[in-house]
Amino acid sequence: MKREKILIIDFGGQYNQLVARRVRECNVYCEIYSYKTDLEKIRDMKPKGIILTGGPNSCYEEGAAACDPALFELGVPVLGLCYGAQLMMHTLGGHVGKAPVREYGKIEVTTDRSSKLFTNVSEKTVCWMSHNDYIETAAPGFQIIAHTPDCPVAAAQCEERQLYAIQFHPEVLHTQEGTKMLSNFVYEICGCAGDWKMDAFVENSIRSIRERVGKGRVLCALSGGVDSSVAAVMMAKAVGDQLTCVFVDHGLLRKNEGDEVEEVFGPNGPYKLNFIRVNVQERFYEKLKGVEEPEQKRKIIGEEFIRVFEEEAKKIGTVDFLVQGTIYPDVVESGLGGESAVIKSHHNVGGLPDYVDFKEILEPLRDLFKDEVRRAGLELGIPEKLVCRQPFPGPGLGIRIVGEVTAEKVRMVQDADAIYREEIAKAGLDKSIGQYFAALTNMRSVGVMGDERTYDYAVALRAVNTIDFMTAETAEIPFDVLVKVMNRVINEVEGVNRVFYDLTSKPPGTIEFE
Ligand code: GLN
């Protein structure tokens, strides 16, 4: 089936994945590509429309990110957002320069409601701005369709050529009617039908997996996390008992998690999967001995994972396909999708080490954002409790222990984390906080307990709110809850004598603590 598609051309802006998510919320499929992508390739994808994102450059400067001017001649509607808007104007003969007044934050914009872009949008509407440059004069043939007191061209259009430019960020939720504007672009201007629906996605995926796999044998790496669980159930529905799920207990899971995974996916669970649990805790600790650098830890854990699978695969006989729960943000963050820098390697994306002898990799969730994975999971009939689980990274506690990983430290962080989660749930906060966990810092310091000197580790508590896991803000946990957790952790977890609460947002931090 040919899916209609919007292309998002990435100029390195920080909200780019949000643009994609908003478009998909309109039931229109979209993909992110770097601005360096060849025009030929863009044309061949036959997009219904193109969105140019924001970006850090100034388009008039030497070496600034640019696009082929012929992009505007494809006959495909183009919407430029912020940098994208400036670039469109600059390329087509308008003038962009340093703004006498920079705009940052919520600004009231006056719109021309006769523009298709602003159909059903209020005349005065609050928008999110973040720019140092501005469009001084729109390109010839363009009509100004929005302004603010400091920004003469907050939006412009050339209707005949289907070109639209917006200085603000409709993708950010602070832009009150932003989703409406993006929806107007994809429906009113690009003429999309809106065929990106989760039930259809699940059904089509199951069908195409079945075709691709044929009679082949499939091995699935099950971690018990949301992504691999959804991938496993989808595969099970597609190929039944040709599928074997291998669950590696690498000793870096949350407290009791190994048993919980086995309960759900094991022989006594509802899914009747071919399920193999491999207990290789010691083997992983051995490999991680003396390793402190987080990227190296991720690599070691990832590679060891693959080796364990390989060994299991050999026991099963021929294995043709390996399933991985890669999701779209992994693809983009690994630098394969858009323009964003490689922030950290995801052991489940892209190239495998050459010693792996599986025929092919299947990544049934590669196109989905996290919230879409959850919706697919519900569509597949997986219980909500499982589907809405706290996210947990593949390398597990290996990257929630700063510095060297040891069995002893794993125990500390597991116990502290279990206490933290328990208290958060007791306080009724478990549904409202995006993600929360305990990490073990590599810091030891002096304390006193029962009149005795201690020299123990410090636990860091982390809690963030995020919709999309690309940006995050620290959650405001009531102080009494934090104090309670601190008390319990220090009393109950041997080896810990201090507890910190991490206030850092993302950016500049990451959600994990490694
Ligand atoms: N760098 C450009 C400016 O400062 C565009 C910013 C953006 O895309 N958010 O105006």
Mean pLDDT of the chain: 90
Using the mean position of ligand 1's atoms as its centre, give its distance from the Cα of residue 4 in Å. 29
How high is the pLDDT of residue 277? 94
Q: Look up the pTM and report it.
A: 0.74
Closest CA to 7 of 78, 88, 90: 78
Angle between helices 257-265 and 226-239 (to 10 degrees): 20
Is the confidence at residue 355, as pLDDT, over 60?
no
Q: What is the mean pLDDT of residues 449-457?
A: 92
**Using CA atoms in the order 196, 198, 200, 202, what is the torsion angle rounded to 10 degrees?**
130
> 340 pLDDT band (50/70/90 cuts)?
very low
- Local structure of residue 112 (DSSP, 8 states): -
Pick from 130, 169, 174 the residue to mutate for probing ligand 1's pocket: most ligand atoms within 8 Å of its CB.
Answer: 130
Asked whether residue 308 carries a pLDDT value surpassing 50, the answer given is yes
Average pLDDT of the residues in 60-89:
96
CA proximity to 32, closest of 339, 286, 259: 339
Does position 267 have pLDDT exceeding 90, yes or no?
no
26-36 tens-digit pLDDT: 999 999 999 99
Ligand 1 center to 323 CA (angstroms): 40
- The residue whose CA has the least distance to atom 6 of ligand 1 is 131
Which atom of ligand 1 lies closest to the CA of 130? 9
44: which 2 tokens? 């061949």
- Residue 111 Cα, ligand 1 centroid: separation in angstroms? 21
- Provide the sign of the torsion angle of the four alpha carbons 212, 215, 221, 227, taken in this order: positive
Which residues, in sequence order, are CB contacts of 151 under 8 Å at separation 6+?
99, 103, 107, 129, 134, 135, 167
**Closest approach atom of ligand 1 to CA 133:** 10
Inform me whether the pLDDT recorded for 349 exceeds 70.
no
For ligand 1, what atom is nearest to the CA of residue 84? 8
- For residue 14, the ligand 1 atom closest to its alpha carbon is 9
- Which member of 26, 30, 67, 82 is catalytic? 82
Residues whose CB falls within 8 Å of the CB of residue 179, separated by 6 or more in sequence, listed in order: 22, 25, 26, 170
CA of 11, closest atom in ligand 1:
8
Lowest mean pLDDT among 220-224, 322-326, 460-464: 220-224
What SS3 class is residue 506?
strand
pLDDT band, very low/low/confident/very high, at 335 (cuts 50, 70, 90) = low
Whole-number Cα distances in Å, 146 to 142, 167, 169, 422: 12, 9, 13, 50
Alpha carbon distance 273, 129 (integer Å): 50
- How far is the centre of ligand 1, averaged over its atoms, from the C-alpha of 134 (Å)? 8
Could you tell which of 87, 128, 133, 148 is best to mutate to test the pocket of ligand 1, judged by most ligand atoms within 8 Å of the CB?
Answer: 133
Q: Which pLDDT tens digit goes with each residue over 218-234?
A: 988 887 788 989 999 99
Please give the Cα distance from 190 to 66 (Å, whole number): 23
Distant-in-sequence, close-in-space partners of 14: CB < 8 Å, separation ≥ 6: 54, 470, 471, 507
Q: In angstroms, what is the span from residue 159 Cα to ligand 1's centroid?
A: 24
Kindly name the residue from 171, 312, 363, 372 that is annotated as catalytic.
171
Quick one: tokens of 230? 């959804």
174 is catalytic: no
Q: Residue 357 has what pLDDT?
A: 60
Catalytic residue among 31, 103, 131, 169: 169
What sign results for the dihedral spanned by CA atoms 28, 34, 35, 40? negative
- Give the other-Cβ count within 10 Å of 428's Cβ: 9
Confidence of residue 394 (pLDDT cuts 50, 70, 90): confident
245 is catalytic: no
Q: Give the model's pLDDT for residue 152.
A: 95
Residue 358 pLDDT > 80: no
Strands 452-465 and 435-449: antiparallel
With the most atoms of ligand 1 within 8 angstroms of its CB, the residue from 132, 148, 340 to mutate is 132
Q: List the residue whose alpha carbon is closest to atom 8 of ligand 1.
A: 54
Q: Looking at ligand 1, which residue's alpha carbon is closest to its atom 7?
A: 54
Distance from the alpha carbon of residue 462 to the mean position of ligand 1, in angstroms:
31
Gap from CA of 132 to ligand 1 centroid (Å): 6
What percent of the chain clears pLDDT 70, i.e. is strictly above it? 94
Q: Ligand 1 center to residue 86 CA distance, Å?
A: 8
List pLDDT tens digits, range 174-184. Answer: 899 999 999 99
Distance between CA atoms of 446 and 452, rounded to whole angstroms?
Answer: 10
Of 405, 382, 391, 411, nearest to 256 by C-alpha is 411
pLDDT of residue 202 exceeding 70: yes
Torsion of Cα atoms, 313 then 316 then 322 then 324, to 10°: -80
Which residues line the pocket of ligand 1, CB cutoff 6 A? 13, 54-58, 82-83, 130-133
Instruction: State the pLDDT confidence band at 345, using cuts at 50, 70 and 90.
Output: very low
Does the active-site annotation cover 26? no
Q: What number does the ligand 1 atom closest to the CA of 56 have?
A: 1
Task: Report, as an integer, the average pLDDT of 314-336.
Answer: 80
119-172 residue pLDDT tens? 999 999 999 999 999 999 999 999 999 999 999 999 999 999 999 999 999 998
